[in-house]
């Protein structure tokens, strides 16, 4: 996978942002704060797209939809998927 050379200096920030986003979503879901989880998923969706990680974008979009529907079980499943694809994306960097 080729990342735009202009974005390479931002990769460490992307990695940290993904880790922080996942943790924030976990806390939000534990508190039943679906809107916060939805916003965090939306942010990760955009970041995945910016760096060319379509799988991150797709998984985050699925989580965003589940959070919008306030589907706790769906959110947990989608979060697991998002964690997996983020780990795979970060491993490619």
Rounded Cα–Cα distance for residues 90 and 93 (Å): 5
Residue 86 pLDDT exceeds 70: yes
User: What's 50's domain CATH number?
Assistant: 1.20.120.160
Rounded Cα–Cα distance for residues 25 and 87 (Å): 16
Mean pLDDT throughout 54-67? 98
**6 lies in some domain:** no
**8 lies in some domain:** no
**pLDDT value of position 5:** 81
**2 lies in some domain:** no
**84 lies in some domain:** yes
Domain membership of residue 55 as a residue range? 17-92
pTM for this model (two decimals): 0.91
Residue 49 pLDDT exceeds 70: yes
Domain count for the chain:
1
**21 lies in some domain:** yes
Residue 9 DSSP class? G
């Amino acid at each position: 996978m080729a990342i735009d050379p202009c974005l390479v200096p931002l990769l460490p920030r992307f990695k940290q942002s993904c880790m922080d986003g996942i943790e924030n979503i976990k806390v939000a879901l534990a508190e039943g704060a679906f809107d916060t989880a939805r916003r965090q998923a939306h942010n990760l969706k955009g970041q995945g797209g910016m760096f060319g990680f379509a799988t991150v974008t797709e998984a985050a979009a699925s989580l965003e939809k589940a959070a919008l529907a306030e589907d706790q079980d769906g959110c947990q499943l989608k979060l697991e998927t998002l964690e997996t694809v983020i780990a795979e994306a970060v491993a490619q960097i």
